A and B are shown apart, each in its own frame.
Chain A
Amino acid sequence: MKPDVPDGQASCGRSREPLSAVSRRGFLKGAGATVAGVGLLGPTAIAQEKPEAGGVPTLAAEPMQLKLRVNGVEREVRAMPSSTLLDTIRGELDLTGAKRICDRGSCGGCTMSVGGRVVNSCSFLAVDAIGQDVVTIEGLANGDKLTDVQQAFVDYDALQCGFCTPGMIVACTALLEQNPAPTRAEVAEGIAGNLCRCGTYPNVFRAVEAVVRKRKGG
């Protein structure tokens, strides 16, 4: 059963909640009045409304300058009002760990953390990330030092082709923040939105369990 989420924010897997009170349509209608301004820059920043023949106001498809905080660093990016967070971060910042696999929020390959919550960034607008901390797979390791979750994925071979791995690791990292000692069923539930075609789930479970043991000092 899909939760009732605002338009433009696809259901993000069982364990994920609606991410923001502002919907895409809401943003587009009210651009400049309510949300815009926070982090929007320069004269092209505010998308211009142009009445169409029918009198319904729509936005011109103009790229805007946005400020996003990605992996702890303020970055300026150009994005359309309709640009997804995924495309913006991949295209503008060349952070290509997150993947576009299904492009509709059903596979988790694009998983990022926004404001501490896990989102499918293919179904999340870049403008909705303004003012929030965005963390991608590239932001987890400290230089060459892997996080314990990344290291466990290496040690337990929780990856094969590796294409789902960035999303899987971001999801597991977030899961352990919310629930430091998940059961195997809770791990499975927690990554239910992340598909892996090579079938590495059993090793993902083992990797997460190893992290839990280690964090407990085991």
Chain B
Amino acid sequence: MQDDDKQISIRVGFGDHVKELQVVLPNGDIPPYQPGDKFELVGQSRSRVDAIAKVTGRAKYTYDQSPPRMLHARILRCPHPNANVLSVDLEKARSMPGVKAVLSFADAFRQNSVRFAWDGVAAVAAETELQAEEAVRAIEVQYEPLAFCVTREDAMAEFAPQVGRRNQKNTGRIYPRTPRRRGGGVDEEKLAEMLQRMEDDEKLVAELLGESDKVIEGEFDTQVQTHSPLETHGVVCDWDGDHLIAHVSTQGTFGAQWEATHPRGAVRAESAQILCEYIGGGFGAKTSLGREGVAGALLAKSAGRPVKLMLDRREEHTSTGNRPDSQQQLKMGVNKDGTIVAFKARSWGTAGNGLGGAGAHNDNIYDLGAIDKVEYGVRTNCGGARALRAPGWPQGAFALEAMMDKAAAAIGMDPIEFRKKNDSHAIRPHQYDRAAEMIDWKTKRSAKASSDPKKRGVGIASSMWFASGGGGARVLVRIHRNGTVQVRNGAQDIGTGTRTIMGMVAAEELGLDLAQVQTFIGNTDDPRGPTSGGSTTAPTITPAARLAAHRAKEELLDLVAEKHDWDRSDLDLASGNVVRKDGQPLATKVSFKDACELISDDTIETVANRPVFGRRRPNYEGFSDTNAGVQCAEVEVDTETGEVKVLKVVAVQDAGKVINPLLAESQVSGGIVQGVSYALFERRIMDRQEGRMVNADFEGYKILGSVDCPEIEVELFDVYNGKNNTSVMGLGEPPVVATAAAVANAVSHAIGERIESLPITPAKVLSALERKERRG
């Protein structure tokens, strides 16, 4: 506890569920928003501050930048899924018309092998795109093609070709993770303990399964999903001496700056300004500068001119990350009273030629009793995984929620009652009934099967997430003498509305309307902000914005109190005026603008860090560490064609304190759309003979379009979580967790047969119906 840390009592919760907590305010923080607080702006639906730029086409994305004398760059991609690169001859390309710079990945990244088709090999910058493309074709590469495998099954087969290098096996355990010593090497002692624990868990769960009334089993498969942001990865780079100025389509401006300036990195700029005011989607794929970013910077340096390097759609699909597939073998022991006593999970997933990120989160959300869980990663010669909106969760939820339905059916319990019975979350148990009401669960669940070939069904699934934010953000608030206000943070808004709500919490603090503050983002010359990952941006930036605005307000009110000889502690700002906290009128009316005229040295400028306790536990205890959600889906399945249509999805979603319901609902609704898309359509298809992705475009890789979009109803659960001073919880990822699971459960309700594999294609529906018929 530091000197300025102060212990106070706060109220946290929602509706009738409010409790008091004793918390210590660190770093001069202000108390969190609490139930009963009066707001003028927070909690209102307001359109995005950048909406007009976006609807008029004036918003300039990285892809839209074209500084004078700009060159265009392209990357040479390897056609082989596994090969050693013996030589790269750039000479012919260098002498092609218009070519100004060339580089090989062997030089830039010391990469002498390719491990998936469409991995990069070299890059060229030329006057026109066409010239760059032609020059790329002129690069001569000698490959030594190696045997490969591109599916999980092939990689796990006996005598499968080795995907990795050195002693890397194709399959490796990723959970529980092998303990390592500091500085590398396996910690043998801890490893022995861990192996013992695994053995004990396995034994215990086997015993409990043996004793439970029913044992439910399931084997689930999910597909590889690509992020498919509409703006591909890319950069527009320029140099001023050793200073790099780069527009990057990125979810992490400061991460990109770190990479570009790191002394052991490939770019090694002395300093760098990263710009990204607008980004055309990322969904987790754009958290690093990427090889395309490095290549763009190096080509620009070598050519002495600005270079634009944007990937094309095929490159985007193949080489910029994906959600790994999974095979999950699950067992659940359940007693007749509805209690889950034990859960066993084994899973395999491929995250490309690495192992990280291939797990499936199938053992969370509910109270599952004793758990025995092991996850394996499987190396394949495919593009590597990157976090994709709730990495690991939608695939895990799909399997877990199917098991929940199967278990409920086995003991003759309603699926919702069964879930409630095994759910000890602080918030979620209060959401089930509302979600059920919104979809008309009772009527639809008990409807008799009709003779119509189109069958309807409803399903339910839950979600959780952890995002109350952390450190790493600083916001600058500047009040100018003429009354204009700037709120600045250098991180990015990836379409979530962070920029808007950053402005809203600052405006609220200053008693202004949103239109009276200007917001600035996406420029590393402004104060530091987080990478947008894990739904942490809003709960990380907004508390810093609120605190910075609060401090600016205090400075301004000091001037007002001094001038009028008023008691400073009576004063506040509201509705564009200086007001008394007790609501009594002031002797003289002083507007915000009047107050600003008292500023003698042009501006009040305050910077606030996001208050934190420490790295391990950055936030207050709060009402709940996790935010909760429940979704229900209604589907119609055509039993003649196998086509599934999702008619409606309803979501009850807790996002902590909702700053802007309009934008929050958009987040939830968008997550649902992606979830339906994942459930029914999306699937990377690899050609096992050639080792390439065959559907690396938007015809073969189908993302949900308008015609397939269900009706979506969102109800936000406003929870004063008290985890940080705005009580905000992140909302990017939670809504996508439950959707595919709810859709799959609805399909099995509709047709009376379960499909344990995503995506749910017409072919799978028809074969499920056939299976059901054969069984009689």
Name A's B-contacting residues (CB within 8 A): 80, 90-91, 94-104, 106-107, 109, 136-138, 140-141, 146, 150, 153-155, 157, 159-166, 169, 187-189, 191-192, 194-205
Contacts and interface: CB of A to CB of B under 8 A. Distances in A.
B738 interface: no
Interface in B54-76: 54-61, 63-64, 66
Nearest to A94: B66
B48 interface: yes
B280 A163 contact: yes
Contacts of B283: 197
Given A101-B232, A198-B670, 6 more contacts: A97-B58, A98-B57, A101-B231, A150-B56, A161-B278, A200-B670
B671 interface: yes
Given A154-B52, A165-B54, A188-B707, A160 B64 contact: no
B313 interface: yes
B281 A198 contact: yes
Interface string B663-696: 1011101111110010000000000000000000
B279 interface: yes
B706 interface: yes
Contacts of B677: 199
A100 B311 CA distance: 11
Interface in B689-731: 697-699, 703-707, 709, 711-712
A187 B709 CA distance: 12
Contacts of A138: 56-58
A204 B677 CA distance: 17
B228 interface: yes
Contacts of A169: 55
B217 interface: no
Contact of B280 (A102, A140, A161, A189): A161
24 contacts: A97-B57, A104-B313, A137-B55, A138-B57, A146-B52, A146-B56, A150-B55, A157-B48, A157-B51, A159-B55, A160-B281, A161-B230, A161-B281, A162-B53, A162-B55, A164-B230, A166-B57, A192-B705, A195-B703, A197-B674, A199-B669, A199-B674, A200-B670, A202-B673
A196 B669 CA distance: 12
Contacts of B670: 160, 198-200
Contacts of A166: 55, 57
Interface size band for B = 35 or more
Contact of B495 (A101, A104, A160): A160
Contact of A195 (B61, B671, B698): B698
Nearest to A136: B57
Contact of B63 (A99, A107, A140): A99
Contacts of A95: 57
B188 interface: no
Contacts, number: 167
If over half of B's interface residues share one DSSP class (helix, strand or loop), that class is named, otherwise mixed; here it is loop
Interface of B: 47-48, 50-61, 63-64, 66, 130, 228-232, 278-281, 283, 312-313, 494-497, 662-663, 665-667, 669-674, 677, 697-699, 703-707, 709, 711-712
Contacts of A198: 281, 495, 666, 670, 673
Contacts of A99: 61, 63, 230-231, 280
Contacts of A159: 48, 51, 54-55
Query: Counting chain A CB atoms within 10 Å of each CB, which of B57, B228, B280, B283 scores highest?
Result: B57
Given A99-B280, A164-B230, A201-B706, A106 B52 contact: no
A136 B453 CA distance: 45
B56 A141 contact: yes
Given A197-B281, A197-B703, A157 B662 contact: yes
Nearest to A104: B697
Given A97-B56, A199-B671, A201-B673, A160 B666 contact: yes
B676 to A, nearest CB: 9
Nearest to B53: A162
Contact of A189 (B58, B230, B671, B707): B707
B278 to A, nearest CB: 6
B57 A107 contact: no
A160 B674 CA distance: 13
A218 to B, nearest CB: 20
B634 to A, nearest CB: 15
Given A154-B47, A202-B669, A161 B279 contact: yes
Contacts of A165: 54-55
Contacts of B707: 188-189, 192
B54 A157 contact: no
A96 B704 CA distance: 25
B496 to A, nearest CB: 7
Contacts of A136: 57
A146 B55 contact: yes
A195 B705 contact: yes
A90 B57 CA distance: 12
Nearest to B710: A202
B60 A200 contact: no
A162 B60 CA distance: 10
Contacts of B711: 202
A138 B58 CA distance: 7
Contacts of B52: 146, 154
